[in-house]
């Protein structure tokens, strides 16, 4: 399908036949794709303007048209058809959007709750990414990589969202710390970012100037781990 065919199919779901209405719809579909799993409340929380295109009957119609999937607990996720549409728009790099697996259960929704809160609170929010290091058998698999951007300046923050304590909690968290310290010395993370920065049209730093930080979100309290780690 070319872009006009997508527009013709979606036009009946829009409040008006104008570029603003289409832009809102494209942005909403992109946000759903980026967040992986959302409920209606997430869309209206971080982007009130989406009220014009995200009424539940419209979301359900997008499911009927195969742009979205919906689970029994009202969780929506994007389909391959939405990714193909975003590919046609050229404004969104399909390769940077996550592959969706799972069914939007409680753990996935807890992650979405935290991510949309960050989108609302961070004035320089730019993007969420979902890397693995290495891709096969990763020793670091963050819940997300948050990119903050102000003109050509940007900051990279790996997110670890911990909604509840796990067995051997202290060792579990400390192992994550050690793995991120290992990653900070692994050229793999720099090579990954070089490729992503070019796709996002962001400047690529020299390897000696490349830094990231790690933010733990949840009821976690530890002694100061030094620069690069924060708890919220």
Compute how many other C-beta atoms are within 10 angstroms of the C-beta atom of residue 163: 14
Integer Cα distance of 88 and 81 in angstroms: 11
Integer Cα distance of 74 and 207 in angstroms: 44
pTM (whole model) above 0.85: yes
More confident residue, 166 or 131: 131
Structure tokens, 108? 């996935």
pLDDT digits (tens, 9 = 90+) for 114-163: 999 999 999 999 999 999 999 999 999 999 999 999 988 999 999 999 87
Q: Is the pLDDT of residue 175 over 90?
A: yes
List the domains of the chain with CATH numbers: 1-102 (1.10.10.10), 122-232 (no CATH)
pLDDT digits (tens, 9 = 90+) for 85-96: 999 998 888 889
**How much of the chain, in percent, has pLDDT values that exceed 70?**
99
Listed in sequence order, the DSSP H helices in the chain are 3-10, 19-35, 40-46, 56-64, 80-89, 106-121, 169-183, 187-199
């Amino acid at each position: 399908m070319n872009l006009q065919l997508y527009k013709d199919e979606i036009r009946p779901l829009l409040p008006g036949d104008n570029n603003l209405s289409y832009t809102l719809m494209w942005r909403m579909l992109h946000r759903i794709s980026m967040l992986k799993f959302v409920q209606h409340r997430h869309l209206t929380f971080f982007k009130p303007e989406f009220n014009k295109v995200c009424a539940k009957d419209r979301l359900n119609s997008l499911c009927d048209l195969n742009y979205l999937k919906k689970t029994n607990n009202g969780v929506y996720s994007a389909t391959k058809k939405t990714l193909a549409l975003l590919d046609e728009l050229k404004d969104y790099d399909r390769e940077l959007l996550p592959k969706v697996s799972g069914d939007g259960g409680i753990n996935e929704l807890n992650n979405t709750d935290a991510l949309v809160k960050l989108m609302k609170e961070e004035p320089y929010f730019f993007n969420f990414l979902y890397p693995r290091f290495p891709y096969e058998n990763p020793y670091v698999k963050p819940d997300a990589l948050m990119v903050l951007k102000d003109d050509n300046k940007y900051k990279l923050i790996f997110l670890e969202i911990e909604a509840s304590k796990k067995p051997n909690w202290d060792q579990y968290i400390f192992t994550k710390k050690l793995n991120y310290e290992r990653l900070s010395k692994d050229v793999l993370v720099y090579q990954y970012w070089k490729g992503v920065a070019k796709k996002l049209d962001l400047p690529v730093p020299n390897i000696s100037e490349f830094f990231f930080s790690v933010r733990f979100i949840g009821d976690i309290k530890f002694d100061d781990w030094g620069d690069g780690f924060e708890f919220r």
